[in-house]
Structure 1
Amino acid sequence: MDFEKIETEVKIHVQKWVGEAQLLIQRKPPAQLYVAVAVVVFTMLLLILIKLFKRKTSNTIVLTGLSGSGKTILFYQLRDGSSHLGTVTSMEPNEGTFVLHSETTKKGKIKPVHIVDVPGHSRLRAKLDEFLPQAAGVVFVVDAVEFLPNCRAASEYLYEVLTAASVVKRKIPLLILCNKVDKVTAHTKDFIRKQLEKEIDKLRTSRTAVSEADVTDEYTLGTPGEAFAFSQCHNKVVIGEASGLTGEISQLEDFIRNLVKP
């Protein structure tokens, strides 16, 4: 919320109402004057409440995940339909607001999407906290080919995202996007989902014990006494597939457009 803008608008309205009140005092008898003042006060309070509680619908989608999972290629596919071969691991967020490339030929007004590709390097992930509070949705990208060697690391990072205060409180929807499924050696999304759930189940057990020792106040996941499943999360979590290299990103685009209406 832009409080400075709201404050300026309220001051303008107050000045206008003060002028009107002065005229009323000069012209109206006491009974009518009281009614008029009450109406003005009520209107002023109503406008202030509307300004404070009216929130602009977010159009920000955050891409995150481990380094090398293909986030940057997906960013370029969404922006201009190119894989931009030769891209290297991002050290700064790729950020842009644009109409999705697949929609550029559509007629009528289409709402642009603000896409942020957050670097996956462990020392750069703090940048994610800058964008989560404004996100309409999060896309956690997983390398479906090199999944098993990175399963533990991906699970730890995903756990951090799912227990982030912004994600939990605002119930931000999350898409786990299995990328590079065009490769013969790619694992299926069902296999990846099950493995991630198993790893997160182990993580939440150990981290819950730490929380109970008052070392951290992070949110916990799942239902006590039950094996962890993404269906137990505070926010909606779905699994999808994509190939940034070939441009098959329809499930990613559908997820985005379900959150950022055209």
Structure 2
Amino acid sequence: MDQWISQIEQWVRQQPVEQIYVAVAVLALTVVLFVLFSLLKTSKSNTMVLAGLSGSGKTILFYQLRDGSPHQGTVTSMEPNDGTFVLHSELGKKGKIKPVHLVDVPGHSRLKPKLDEFLPNAAGLIFVVDALDFLPNCRPAAEYLYDILTKSSVVKKRIPVLILCNKTDKVTAHSKEFIRKQLEKEIDKLRTSRNAISTADISDEFMLGVPGEPFTFEQCRNKVTVAEASGLTSEVSQVEQFIREHVKP
């Protein structure tokens, strides 16, 4: 061992000083990059945000995902519901399961700005739509969704968005295909009117869609999908699947 160390020391003394400095710098940079990569890998967000108009059923979904029961979710929430937990459907599974940080942002117009507190760290966003009472709320829902899809925090990070059609257990509820098409039409109208606003007024927004073409969600820079659920009847499998696609167990 002593002979081996002696040979290394002799070899080092024979090398130009500049070459040794370069080797040390490369080694140090490699270590720093490895540490940063490890930190980024382990600190991936587990935050899922529930958003949507007031009365769409977000709070019921929050309780169903957490407890498997709607509890008092029929009461409109005026404060964000915020919790970190393992999904109720996964409680019986073996092995270590990563908890989900779920945030239910109230849909009241005064409280919508609270959404900006959670979006920068979101792994995904679930936009809840009332499929039963959809048509009277189509325009305001489209406006809210437009605001979300054009936010710089959503576009730059390509935050995936799930449009969740809630209350689909009711016979008179609209289908997810109908809701998707109607939202696309309304957003297309909004895009036309808002594009006329000066760029100074929309500095924090990104333009939606392809100029000269009807708007579709496929044109968004981030992935936008549509699914169905019923918070009252515990049919939340599609939203659970979306959560676990972006917050790995």
Normalised by the size of structure 1, how large is the TM-score? 0.84
The answer for unaligned runs of 5 or more in structure 1 is 1-24
Matched, 1:216 2:202: yes
Distance in 2 (CA, whole Å) between partners of 1:95 and 1:177 is 19
* 1:29 partner letter: R
Q: 2:32 aligns with which of 35, 48, 56?
A: 48
Which whole-Å CA distance do the structure 2 matches of 1:175 and 1:210 have between them? 28
The answer to whether structure 1 residue 80 and structure 2 residue 67 are counterparts is yes
Number of residue pairs the alignment of both structures matches: 237
Tell me what 1:156 maps to.
143
Alignment partner of 1:209: what SS?
A: coil
CA distance, structure 1, for counterparts of residue 16 and residue 134 of structure 2: 75
Q: Deviation of residue 205 (structure 1)? A: 0.3
Measured after TM superposition, the shift of residue 36 of structure 1 is: 4.7
Q: Where does residue 4 of structure 2 map in the other structure? A: none
User: Equivalent residue for 1:29?
Assistant: 13
In 2: Cα distance, 1:215 partner to 1:60 partner: 30
Task: Output aligned runs, 1:106-145, within 5 Å.
Answer: 106-145=93-132
- Write the deviation string for residues 82-141 of structure 1: whole angstroms up to 9, x where unpaired: 111454222221111111100111111211111111111111111111111111110000
**Distance (Å, rounded) in 1 between the aligned partners of 2:198 and 2:132:** 34
Normalising by structure 2, what TM-score?
Answer: 0.88
Aligned partner of 1:198 among 179, 185, 196: 185
**Aligned pairs for 1:239-250 within 5 A:** 239-250=226-237
TM-superposed CA distance for 1:225, in Å, is: 0.6
Alignment partner of 1:123: what SS? helix
The yes-or-no answer on 1:38 pairing with 2:25 is no
* 1:94-113 alignment runs, 5 A limit: 94-113=81-100
The separation in 2 between residues aligned to 1:211 and 1:187, in whole angstroms, is 36
Match of 2:47 in 1: 60
Q: Which amino acid aligns with 1:128?
A: L
Separation in structure 2 between the aligned mates of residue 139 and residue 63 of structure 1, nearest angstrom:
5
Once the two structures are superposed, residues 28-71 of structure 1 have per-residue CA deviations (whole angstroms, 9 ceiling, x without a partner) of: 73737655543332222223334445522211111100111011
What residue number does 2:224 align with?
Answer: 237
Show structure 2 runs of 5+ residues with no match. 1-8
